[in-house]
Amino acid sequence: MLNIFRDTFQVMSPVNGNIVNLTNVPDRMFSEEIVGKGIAVDPLEDIIRSPIDGKIKLIFDTNHAFVVTSKKGIELLVHIGIDTIELNGEGFKRLVKEGDFVKTGDPIIKINRQEIVNKGYKLTTLVVITNLENVKDVICTRDTCVFGSKNFIMTYKIK
């Protein structure tokens, strides 16, 4: 039997939460897909996990975002919150380092949701494929809520 799904890769949710379509994110760089194509989740917990198996390519100094690269070279940006770079790392704790190999569901960043929200920031966490030239058929979930690494939020194929 032909496996028509063998070239389809899944991206899991980095956190339990409610799904947000990128077009509804109040940041033009993401809502207009300038950074890449993806989806967002409003977190219901404090641990942000790797959405795929791969290598941590980059963790921003402020710990509000990281890039994980798959074995096939696909780069996923996980960006925690809107304008949270302004916090200069307050409320974010790095749990891994650049160059580490991670599995889907491994903890990457611990956030203090209450502290960040109390400072007036939204924690909408974006998961975006940044090197779109290497993928095709990116499909985002139509679910309304996800439970971390148990639910995929996006699928794609390699070009």
- Known catalytic residues are 79
- Least Cα distance to 80 among 102, 101, 55, 108 occurs for 108
Report residue 88 CA to chain centroid gap.
20
- Least Cα distance to 149 among 57, 78, 50 occurs for 50
Q: Are residues 126 and 38 in contact, defined by beta-carbon separation less than 8 angstroms?
A: yes
Distance between CA atoms of 52 and 102, rounded to whole angstroms?
Answer: 8
Report residue 132 CA to chain centroid gap.
15
What number of other Cβ atoms are within 10 A of residue 112's Cβ?
13
Element (H, E) at 30: helix 28-31
